[in-house]
Structure formats: structure tokens, C-alpha cells
Amino acid sequence: MSAQNCFHCGLAIDENEEIHFDEKLFCCAGCKTVYEIFSSHDLTSYYDFQKSPGATPQDIKGKYDFLENEAILSKILEFQEGDTAIVSLNIPHIHCSSCIWILENLNRIQPGISISQVNFPEKKVRITYNSNIVSLKTIVYTLSSIGYEPYISLENYETGKSNIDRSLTYKLGVAFFCFGNIMLLSFPEYFEIKEFWLDNYKPFFRGLIFILALPSFLYSASGYYVSAYKSIKSGMLNIDIPIALGLIVMFIRSTYDIFMNYGSGFFDSLASLVFFMLLGKMFQIKTYSFLSFERDFKSYFPIAVTRINSDLSEESLPIYDVEKGNRLLIRNQELIPVDGILISESAEIDYSFVTGEAVPITKKSGDKIFAGGKQIGKIIEMEVLHSVSQSYLTQLWSNDIFQKNVDQKHKTITDAISRYFTPILLLIAFGGFGYWIFIDANTAFNVFTAVLIVACPCALALTAPFTFGNILRILGKQKLYLKNALVIEQLAKVNTIVFDKTGTITTNKKSNIAYEGKAISDEDFIFIKNTLRASNHPLSRMLYDFLPEEKKIKIDDFQEITGKGILASIGNKKIKIGSAKFVESAVTDALEIKRTSLHIEIDSLYYGKFVFENQYREGLEKLFATLNTDYQIKVLSGDNDGEKDHLEALLPKNIELIFNQKPEQKLDFIKKLQEKGQNVMMVGDGLNDAGALAQSNVGISISENVNVFSPACDVILDASQFSRLSYFLKLSRKAIFIIKMSFALSLLYNVIGLAFAVTGNLLPLVAAIIMPLSTITIVSFVTFMSNYFSNRKLNS
């Protein structure tokens, strides 16, 4: 065990703050408290499953007061009757088996809870409790006190019960059941030996097969008929038309054969077809249940805010009821839900959700503050200017792009092929029929149906699902999470890439801080570091963390002037740290104002400034240089052009840089590119990119922590993989290449099958061999190829 890491949360321990308790080391009182709670309830096995699994509990005083409001409570609860209540809470910290264990033993810490069950992939815990003994607020506080603070947002307001669509699982189950049984019953027919007892039992076997085929034909395959009908109605020929046609013809012909005693029919092929196609559908769906691709502002915004009434009483108010003129109270780390005017003296607002900007902005009394910012520091008061739906940021969601049905946006490669496939197929079928009708009417009928049966594009329909499904999983392992398989096709078609600047090509994890000015002596350096230590201003904290560790000295006098800076002294030495206005001796020019900096003055002598610069992501230059050869690249930024020169030097010459873009302007920019016929991929991160992400053909959201937040998009990319973007794009192009190759292969099977069909030789046994054979070879071919391409690219 390393002595330097906290027993509870695993963070490195600051030597001066370490706490010894029960022969263990802790980094802070918070972690120690959690340990105490666990040990007093005999729950220390928590630490056995995983080393240092915990999180430091945050201070949440007053944050969940709205849970006392009955109206809000009833919206959040999943079930409530009598004194039993059930609630599903989303807990982002769930990450290991220790988490599951402790959360499922909640009843030992908090009386009143009867059952708590964790759904690990969704990071949710479902708690059944007795509302007479314990309130939801108390449960939330208990959870927070052990480091598992639930995340309750406006999204929870509407949910209640969620309906999971399990119909595909049922359909697959039914199809498999029918397929298996029909196959068994068909075997005697395959070896059609003239034996007395076989002939005797034929009607029984065939009757059973017919009955077993019904559920598969009517229920499992029903999705194909609906889709085919819809596609005929909208005039677009998709792949489901030949499939549905093949299935129906197959069923009618087989029924006819059986009842007229002509033969055994094709029910075995029908059942296997339905089963394999549904299997392909299932394989294509790979859901990352812990991610959400549909998030809008609702998942960021709180469910309720605190309103200050005219008699100065405080009240929790559902967010939709906030009106213009209300006075709101915003606590530390709370989100500002509406546009308004700051009443308190000053505020530090972190807009990283919205813009990706890491450095908080200082606002003074009377300034306008926008929805989406997070207050850091003390409690502030504000007056509401617009209601939630009319605020600057949330207005974005009233744009048409968010109302559109996204499924209709694209035409898939399979549908493109089937536009030719269906007419040709019908032509061959009628051609065969026309030829044979003059020779033998009965054969003509057989040929016509056989063509439609054998050409049923089962292998064709399976190619794309299996290729995409496999690529989806490969990419998922490499931390690129796609919303669905269709996105891969879109990725392959992209020819223009638009990047957001702040938070996307820069990282908001750490700022790059540079010192400009006169050299500072070691003694003064210690002085600066210790002065910063006492300050709670976010910039001071960032600089403090950035500067190397120094020994601690006592500061005699310390004064923090809100919105300006710090004044401190040791002995007779005086120091001033703060904004350019505060440190009057600072030398600044026009360009300087656009940069975030802290100026230093010691004993009335100006030394210099610490400049907070954006830290660009690793591998950015190389990535842009690679992408530049194949794609048009543009950089959009909501910021001022303070970093223009720096960016121009860093990136290839022909890249367009556009600054001062509002969220709607970003959306319009993408739209204009699309009108010019470009396939645009937008790479962004914050809520201000949400419009552009939705408008673009492929919206990629970069996320430092995929479990936390990202606006609605098609793809979520883990920030650590940013530099591999060009590899992902290449792989998507390879996927399309693989599909085209296997299309050729499956068409070859169709030609062979058709040769049997048009000559009138398609026996049920031949069909039963060709169909599974083509399916299996296609599936193994695409799986092998996609693995091959992804591995080869990894090595090079």
C-alpha cells in the first residue's frame, strides 16, 4: 500500500493535511467521515472489492431543499402508494463493484430503505423506501454524505416511469423458437427416402411445420411488412420491400404446396431467414446505456431554484414556474437557470458547460448574467429577466433542427443499392414467368415464386448490420461512442470538418499559465504562493495549483477585494495580486485586455503577470496536418480573436478561423456549408455548440469524462482519443469499402440461386442450403475484414 494516497478516495495526500484515523491515512476530513460511517455500520468490506473506491463528499447544504416540495417530489418518484415509494436516482460516481456493494447495502446505513438495487451500466440505483420513516431528501443527504451524490436535473422532472422497448427481444425469441423446431421437423423431408412410415406421417409433420411457421411469419417478421409499406407509400424503395415480398411469396407458395400435397414448402428457409435477419438487427444495436445522445439543456438544468419572496422568506420553486421579476438565490456550484441581472455585489461564473472555457468570468452587481453559467464561491442573488424557455441559451432549442425526425435525414447505402435491386428482381421474375408461361403454366408459377424466394436479399440485408455492428464495437473499445450504426456511413461521407475552439481543440482540464515580466526572487515566490493559498478566487486556485510546492509561511495581513484582487503583507512587505485595474502600475495595451491574467506588485513595484492561456490538446498539430489533406477544416469560436495569431502559427495555413460566433451563428454557418453541398462534421463540446451539432451531418461531442455531460450529438469521443480522429474517419471509410465488397459477394449468391430458380430447379432442400450458407459466409467475411482493417490501422 502506498502511504501517500488517501485510503478512501485514492488521491495523493498533502503532507500537511493528512489525517490519521484507525491506522489509515486520509486526505481530508470528508473522506475520514465517510470511513467512519462505513466502519460504524460494519461496512468496511467496501474497501476490499476495489482499492480506494470512494469519492470525497461535497458540501450540499440547502441544495436539495426542493425535495420537500410535494409537487416536485411526485414528479421525481417512480412509484408512490401508501407509505411505499420507489425512486430511481442517477449516480455518476458508480464505477466499480464496491459501489454496487455499498449502494445495495444502503438499508444498513439509512433505516427506512427496504431495497436498493443498482443498475451498473446505467449508473442508476433504484431505492424502495418507507416514506413515513425517511424522506427522499434524507436519502439524498445520506447518499451525498458517503460520496454518492445523485444527479437530479430537469430531465428527471418528466420521466417517472420509463418504458423499455423489448419487442425485438421477443421477436427474436419467437423466431428462434420457430426456426429450431421447424428445422428438427424438416429433417425427415431432407432425406426423402421412400419409406412407408415417412409417407404415413408426412401430413402430421407438415401440418406442425405450418403451425410453427405462423408466429414467425406473422409476428417476428411484422417489422419488415410495416417498413416496406411505409417505403412504398413514401416512394422510396428500401431493402425491406424485396424482403417482405420474398417472405410473403414464400409463405403463400409453401402453404399452397403443403395443402395441395406438392411438396414440403420453404417454411424452414422462411424461419431461418427471419431469425438471421432479426439477429443482424440485434447485433447492430449496441447501446451504451451510461451515455445519452439526446441530451438538451434539460439534463444540465436544475429541477428547482430557491426564490426569495417579498417578505424575504425562501421557497423552492419548480424551474418552469420562474417568472420575470422573481428574485432567485444561487448557491455555490449551482447553475443559473435563467437570464437575469446580478443583485449581489459580485459573482464568479463558470461557463464551461456552455462554452468550454475553463476560466470563470467575474460579474459585478447590475451585470447581465446568462443561463447556463455555474456560480462558484458564495451565495448570490439575481433578478430574473426571462423565463426558462426564453433565455438566451434555451432559445436555441426552439430552432427547427431540434424538432426534426433524425431518422429521415439520411439514406443508407443498403437503400441506395435496393433502388436498383428491386426493379431488376421484379424484371427477372416476370421475365422467367413470361418465358415459361408458353411452355408450362405450372412451371411458370413455380419459377416466378422461386425467383422471389431465392432472391430475397437476406445476405444483402445482413451485410450492413454486421459490418456496422462490428465496427461500432471496435470503436467503442477505443472510446469513440456512436449513437447508432448509421453514423458510420455519415462519417465516411464527411468532407468538411468544423471544430469548435474552446474546450474542443483546447482542453479545459488545465490551463497553461505563463509568467511574463521581471524575475521573481525565491523569497518573493514563496510569498506569492502563500498569499494565493488564502484566496478562494478560482483564478487564484488555478495559479496556486500550477505553481510548484513551497514551504508554508504565515501571512500577517490578508484582504480580498471582490472582483479586483488580493492585498496581503508579511512583516513590512506588501503584495498586490489581481486584475490590471487593481494593480495600477500594470502596463497593458489593448490586446492585453482580451487575455486573462493576474498581475503581481510587491512593495509598490510592478513585477509582471501570470497569463492564463488555452492549453491545446496533444497531437493537435499533427491531426490537423493529416486531416488537411483530405478534408476542408474550419475553426469556429465563440471567443474573441485574442488567440488568433497563436492559432494561425500552430495550424496549417489554409484553415479558416472564425471568431465571435453566437450559438445560432454556429448553426447557420453549418447550414450554409450544407447548402453548398458539403457533408459537414461538427466537433464541439459545450451547450453553445448544441445547435451546430444537431444541424451537422455528424456531430461529435468531445468529453473529458464520458460519464458526465455532453450535448445532444451523434458521437461522443473521449477527449484522450482526440488525436486519433483521423484514424476513426479512415476506419469508417473502410467500413463502406467492406460493405461494397460483401455486396458483390452476396449478389454472387443471388445469381447462383437465380440460376436454379429460373430453370425451375429450386427444390426446398437447395433453398435451405443456399440461404444459411450465404448468410454465414457473409457474416464471417465482414467480421474478419473489419477486424483486419482496424488492427492494421492500429499498428501503422
Partner 1 sequence: MSVIYLLITVSIFVAIGFFIAFVIAVKSGQYDDDYTPSVRMLFDDETKFTSQNNESKTEEKQV
Q: Which of 201, 229, 259, 320 binds partner 1 (CB under 8 A)?
A: 201
Question: How many CB atoms are closer than 10 A to CB 756?
Answer: 17
- Both ends of the chain: CA-CA distance in Å? 39
**Please, what is the minimum distance in Å from the beta carbon of residue 463 to partner 1?**
27
To the nearest 5 percent, what fractions of the chain are helix, strand and coil? 50, 20, 35
- 313 — alpha (psi -120 to 50), left (phi > 0) or beta? beta
**Please, what is the minimum distance in Å from the beta carbon of residue 120 to partner 1?**
4
Nearer to partner 1, 95 or 493 (CB): 95
Question: Which of 557, 565, 519, 518 lies closest to 539, judged by CA?
Answer: 565
Residue 557 bridge partners (DSSP): 569
Nearer to partner 1, 179 or 607 (CB): 179
> Coil, strand or helix: which one is 351?
coil
**Please, what is the minimum distance in Å from the beta carbon of residue 194 to partner 1?**
16
Nearer to partner 1, 108 or 646 (CB): 108
**Please, what is the minimum distance in Å from the beta carbon of residue 208 to partner 1?**
7
CA–CA dist 713, 666 (Å, integer) = 15
Q: Which of 11, 18, 21, 49 binds partner 1 (CB under 8 A)?
A: 49
**Please, what is the minimum distance in Å from the beta carbon of residue 476 to partner 1?**
15
Nearer to partner 1, 99 or 487 (CB): 99
Nearer to partner 1, 105 or 484 (CB): 105
Nearer to partner 1, 74 or 707 (CB): 707
Report the half-sphere exposure of 559 (CA within 13 A, side-chain side).
Answer: 9
Site string for partner 1, 241-280 (x = CB under 8 A): ----------------------------------------
DSSP classification of residue 261: T
CA–CA dist 402, 399 (Å, integer) = 6
Going across the sheet that includes 506-517, the strands are 506-517, 605-616, 596-602, 573-578, 565-570, 557-561
Nearer to partner 1, 126 or 493 (CB): 126
Query: Which residues touch 234 (CB under 8 Å, ≥6 apart)?
Result: none
CA–CA dist 86, 68 (Å, integer) = 16
Q: Which three cell numbers stand for residue 587?
A: 502596463
Nearer to partner 1, 204 or 262 (CB): 204
Q: Which of 111, 173, 203, 207 binds partner 1 (CB under 8 A)?
A: 173
CA quadruple 409, 414, 416, 418: dihedral, nearest 10:
-130
170 interacts with partner 1 by CB under 8 A: yes
Site string for partner 1, 1-40 (x = CB under 8 A): ----------------------------------------
Residue 118 bridge partners (DSSP): 125
**Please, what is the minimum distance in Å from the beta carbon of residue 231 to partner 1?**
29
The stretch near partner 1 (CB under 8 A) out of 22-30, 194-202, 216-224, 784-792 is 194-202
**Please, what is the minimum distance in Å from the beta carbon of residue 172 to partner 1?**
10
Rounded to 10°, the helix 725-758/441-454 angle is 170
Nearer to partner 1, 134 or 308 (CB): 134
Strands 374-376 and 346-350: antiparallel
The stretch near partner 1 (CB under 8 A) out of 66-74, 199-207, 463-471, 520-528 is 199-207
**Please, what is the minimum distance in Å from the beta carbon of residue 45 to partner 1?**
5
CA–CA dist 347, 354 (Å, integer) = 17
CA–CA dist 372, 337 (Å, integer) = 6
Give the count of residues interacting with partner 1 (CB under 8 A): 35
Q: Which three cell numbers stand for residue 445?
A: 408459377
Nearer to partner 1, 42 or 557 (CB): 42
CA–CA dist 650, 492 (Å, integer) = 27
Q: Which of 9, 67, 183, 185 binds partner 1 (CB under 8 A)?
A: 185
Q: Which of 22, 48, 603, 656 binds partner 1 (CB under 8 A)?
A: 48
Sole residue written with cell 435477419: 277
Query: Which residues touch 167 (CB under 8 Å, ≥6 apart)?
Result: none
Q: Which of 44, 74, 159, 536 binds partner 1 (CB under 8 A)?
A: 44
Nearer to partner 1, 125 or 338 (CB): 125
Q: Which of 5, 142, 181, 255 binds partner 1 (CB under 8 A)?
A: 181
Measured at the CA of 684, the angle between CA 683 and CA 689, to 5 degrees, comes to 125
Nearer to partner 1, 182 or 382 (CB): 182
CA–CA dist 665, 392 (Å, integer) = 13
Q: Which of 62, 180, 517, 642 binds partner 1 (CB under 8 A)?
A: 180
- In the range 60-119, which residues lie near partner 1 by CB under 8 A? 97, 100-101, 104-105, 107-108, 115, 117-119
Site string for partner 1, 206-235 (x = CB under 8 A): --x---------------------------
The answer to whether the Cα torsion of 195, 199, 200, 202 is positive or negative is positive
Rounded to 10°, the helix 486-493/725-758 angle is 110
Nearer to partner 1, 91 or 736 (CB): 91
The stretch near partner 1 (CB under 8 A) out of 67-75, 180-188, 382-390, 468-476 is 180-188
Sole residue written with cell 480573436: 641
Nearer to partner 1, 220 or 332 (CB): 220
> Coil, strand or helix: which one is 496?
strand
CA–CA dist 435, 265 (Å, integer) = 24
DSSP classification of residue 502: I
Nearer to partner 1, 119 or 395 (CB): 119
**Please, what is the minimum distance in Å from the beta carbon of residue 97 to partner 1?**
5
The secondary structure of 27-74 as a DSSP string is SSHHHHHHHHHHHHTT-TTHHHHSSS---PPPP-TTTTGGGG-HHHHH
756 interacts with partner 1 by CB under 8 A: no
Q: Which three cell numbers stand for residue 527?
A: 510569498
Q: From the centroid of its chain, how far is CA 351? A: 21
- In the range 355-384, which residues lie near partner 1 by CB under 8 A? none
Nearer to partner 1, 107 or 626 (CB): 107
**Please, what is the minimum distance in Å from the beta carbon of residue 117 to partner 1?**
8
**Please, what is the minimum distance in Å from the beta carbon of residue 175 to partner 1?**
11
Three-state SS annotation for 737-758: HHHHHHHHHHHHHHHHHHHHHH
**Please, what is the minimum distance in Å from the beta carbon of residue 135 to partner 1?**
22
Q: Which of 197, 366, 477, 654 binds partner 1 (CB under 8 A)?
A: 197
- In the range 554-613, which residues lie near partner 1 by CB under 8 A? none
Q: Which of 16, 200, 261, 604 binds partner 1 (CB under 8 A)?
A: 200
120 interacts with partner 1 by CB under 8 A: yes
Nearer to partner 1, 182 or 719 (CB): 182
The CA distances from residue 792 to 518, 720, 785, in Å, are 52, 21, 10
Site string for partner 1, 130-169 (x = CB under 8 A): ----------------------------------x-x--x
Strands (E), 287-376: 304-308, 314-318, 327-330, 340-342, 346-350, 361-364, 368-369, 374-376
Nearer to partner 1, 128 or 665 (CB): 128
Could you list the residues that contact partner 1 (CB under 8 A)?
42, 44-45, 48-49, 97, 100-101, 104-105, 107-108, 115, 117-122, 164, 166, 169-170, 173-174, 177, 180-181, 184-185, 197, 200-201, 204, 208
